Amino acid sequence: MHWFETTYQARLRQDMHYDPRARISVVLSGVFFEETPYCSGRRQPLDTLFKSTRARHSTEFGESGARVLAVEPSEDTLDELDIGTEKRLVSLACTESVSLAALLILAARANDRKAVETACIELLSLVRNALRERHKESRALRRLTEEARTAILDHPEQAHSLSGFARRAGVHPVYFARAFRSATRCSISLFMQLQRIRKSMVLMQNPALALGRIASEVGYYDQSHFSRHFRRLVGCAPGAFRRKLASQHGVSFVQDGNGRSV
């Protein structure tokens, strides 16, 4: 298993192409847009992508460019997980994938091969599950859920509601909830919490920002509420996560959408 980090220049556009090897990629910094023959989406820090060697895609990077951690699993690992090398491209941004992405980054930076392999295999298991569910999704369902997902990604601090999304989509809330859960593998409320925690991971790398202020900026009423959610979703307290990053690296591994280290 091989891993490396790559920096992509600002405003770079890569036309339709294939990657030379199947890989898992975790976005470390910046924002970019990716298009395939059947869908498109925005990628941001802690998003996880899986692409096989036959998955055609084009990529366009924003004003800040981007930095990506890539892990190339062996074909034997892919076969054992029943993923194979067929044309496959999966984007993960669920609770489990963000937690695993954070662990993968820390393990890769520490050059801990065993921890990298463990996190990679768990991420590939999520990819396998997503592929099994994909055939159940219709084009209309993907469009509806992608619109809701984008709204939450753009403004995680806002109080988004299931009923509001369903009303705008013109469908029953129960139907929309089922569609969203099928596409993202979690409820809208949990997905919103996840994006708030992800935004807090970016903000907490600024030592001048107190955790109480970070909690407020990402939409929590108080620090204790924020800390409970962070511990539940990430597996440790926000202060411990902040200290671990500082002790290992001394620099940020994620940035905001404009490329500013925060």
pLDDT in tens, the chain (262 residues): 889 999 999 999 999 888 888 899 999 999 899 887 766 788 888 899 998 887 888 999 988 899 999 999 988 888 888 786 566 788 887 778 888 999 999 999 999 999 999 999 999 998 888 777 665 555 666 777 888 888 898 888 888 888 888 887 777 788 788 888 877 778 888 888 888 998 898 888 788 888 999 999 998 888 888 998 898 888 888 888 888 777 765 444 444 443 333 3
**How much is the pLDDT for 108?**
93
> Quick one: three-class SS letters along the chain?
CEEEEEEECCCCEEEEECCCCCEEEEEEEEEEEEECCCCEEEECCCCEEEECCCCCEEEEEEEEEEEEEEEECCHHHHHHCCCCCCCCEEEECCHHHHHHHHHHHHHHHCCCHHHHHHHHHHHHHHHHHHHHHHCCCCHHHHHHHHHHHHHHHHCCCCCCCHHHHHHHHCCCHHHHHHHHHHHHCCCHHHHHHHHHHHHHHHHCCCCCCCHHHHHHHCCCCCHHHHHHHHHHHHCCCHHHHHHHHHHHCCCCCCECCCCCEC
**How much is the pLDDT for 147?**
83
**How much is the pLDDT for 159?**
82
Dihedral sign for Cα atoms in the order 106, 109, 115, 116: positive
Q: Return the residue matching tokens 């993923």.
A: 83
**How much is the pLDDT for 68?**
95
**How much is the pLDDT for 38?**
62
**How much is the pLDDT for 135?**
55
**How much is the pLDDT for 117?**
92
